[in-house]
Amino acid sequence: MKKLISGKSGLDMDNIRERIVEEAEKIEKEDLEINYMLGDNGLKAFEGAGSGLKILTHCNAGALAASGYGTALAVIRSLHKAGRIANVIVDETRPFLQGARLTAWELHQEKIPFFIITDNMAGYFMSKAEVDAVIVGADRIAANGDSANKIGTLSLSVLAGYYGIPFYIVAPVSTIDINTADGGLIPIEERNEREVREVLGKTIIPEYMQVRNPAFDIAPADNITAIITEVEVIYPPFDKNIKKIFDSI
């Protein structure tokens, strides 16, 4: 937006506002098109996986986080439309409850079968063969495939690896930072401790107890089955195959 209006000091405020709104609508349209392509490529990643799929997801990577279809939820939506989803397991996603408050709402609106669990129940359901795949989004992906996402994603990737469950990252190519070599170079935001101390305005941890609130963690590339983008489904070795994509665009 800054680039759009730079050097346009001669324009009046109405003209500047009109150009900004036009650009915003263009970005929204492009993002929605990318969301649908993510869903299509997600179907390709699950070719041969059969129907009756039980999918676990974390945080919100749906229409509320994108322009109307989502990233991780784009794949889940497309699988559902293809009649291949038996159930979606939704991590509540502490401390801010994006899964329970947002993802579950989206699934309910589209009548996609689901149930909500607390984050620390994921291993239990994996051990009972109630999870066929884990599908999550990403906020930033390093050049080697290490993926930053909502706190708790790292643990899911470890659990999935232990139980031999495919673990998929779904994100547009714009999420990949080709100039960041690995996940160790991605800064992790620590948010207000109040998010941990309170649940929906009710204090559950007293002030005299210390808390920490890192908002994200890094799923190592070695734990990731594939990264589903709008361009293609990227498989290991990620460093080589991510570079190929950027060399071609």
Contact (CB, 8 A) for 113 and 85: yes
Q: What are phi and psi of 14, to 5 degrees?
A: -60, -40
Residue type (1 letter), 95: P
Instruction: Report the distance separating Cα 90 and Cα 138, nearest Å.
Output: 16
Cis link prior to 237 (omega < 30° from 0)? yes
Active site residue 222: no
Contact (CB, 8 A) for 242 and 174: no
User: Of 132, 139, 146, 217, which residue is the catalytic one?
Assistant: 139
Residues noted as catalytic: 139
